[in-house]
A = this chain, B = another copy of it.
Amino acid sequence: MTQSLRTVRALVFDVFGTVVDWRGSLIAEGRRLGRAKRLHVDWEAFADAWRAGYRPAMARVRSGALGWTSIDDLHRTILDTLLTRFGIEGLTEAEIDHLNRVWHRLKPWPDARAGLRRLKKDCIITTLSNGNVALLTNMAKHAGLPWDCILSAELFHHYKPDPETYLGAARLLGLAPEEVMMVAAHKDDLRAARACGLRTGFVVRPLEYGPGVRVDRRPEKDFDVNARDFNDLATKLARARR
């Protein structure tokens, strides 16, 4: 592994689950809304249901059944069904829109900011997320994420794991695929990036789906780096590049 990592110039990050804790953020904001509006909702189930609607919605875009639609708009379509399903009533359009933008206000994992600052010293660090540009830009500002650049599936009108996203990111950065490392907590994302010639960094996020849900934490030798968190990734990358 070590030799090839010397040529890595940019790290491109999956965001939902890898950089930010979508589930914890959704639940916390849901509970605040619930208290303010006297709503009796199981916000854990609500968060899980919102996220569960995400892949099927993207699949419709990826298959061509639905034309290009941003994550903000997909999230809103899912949210509208959840409001009915969870019996959430009495919100104004502005309040529903604000709730939909909770994805712009997700909180980073505890190591994310400090780890990114370390990684930024040696490499370009950028998002490569299915989230739209506005969402990622607002999130970075809100959460203090020090990206060098905001790259999004929206720029390619293709969602990950379509190859156009990984290859498009390398092209926009003016780099060869092997000069770019995809960093994600999701093995399918990394395998798709690897098939396009990118390097891969796996970071475990054991709490992504909540404390009761087991996630696949096993390191894989096919990935260039397997890390516990962003600080561990920074340490391992620095060692491999020495």
- A contact residues vs B (CB 8 Å cutoff): 72, 124, 126, 132-135, 137-138, 140-141, 148-150, 154-155, 172-175
Contact = CB atoms under 8 A, between A and B. Distances in A.
B126 A137 contact: yes
B132 A174 contact: yes
Q: What is the count of identical protomers in the complex?
A: 2
A200 B174 CA distance: 31
Contacts of A138: 124, 174
Which 8 pairs show the lowest CB-CB distances between chains A and B?
A: A134-B174, A133-B172, A137-B149, A149-B150, A134-B173, A137-B148, A141-B148, A155-B155
A72 B134 contact: no
Contacts of A155: 155
A137 to B, nearest CB: 5
B140 A148 contact: yes
A134 to B, nearest CB: 3
Contacts of A137: 124, 126, 148-149, 173
Nearest to A154: B172
A134 B72 CA distance: 26
A72 B175 CA distance: 13
Contacts of A149: 133, 137, 140, 149-150
A106 to B, nearest CB: 16
16 contacts: A72-B174, A124-B137, A124-B138, A124-B141, A133-B173, A134-B172, A134-B173, A134-B174, A134-B175, A135-B174, A137-B173, A140-B149, A148-B150, A149-B149, A149-B150, A155-B155
Contacts of A126: 137
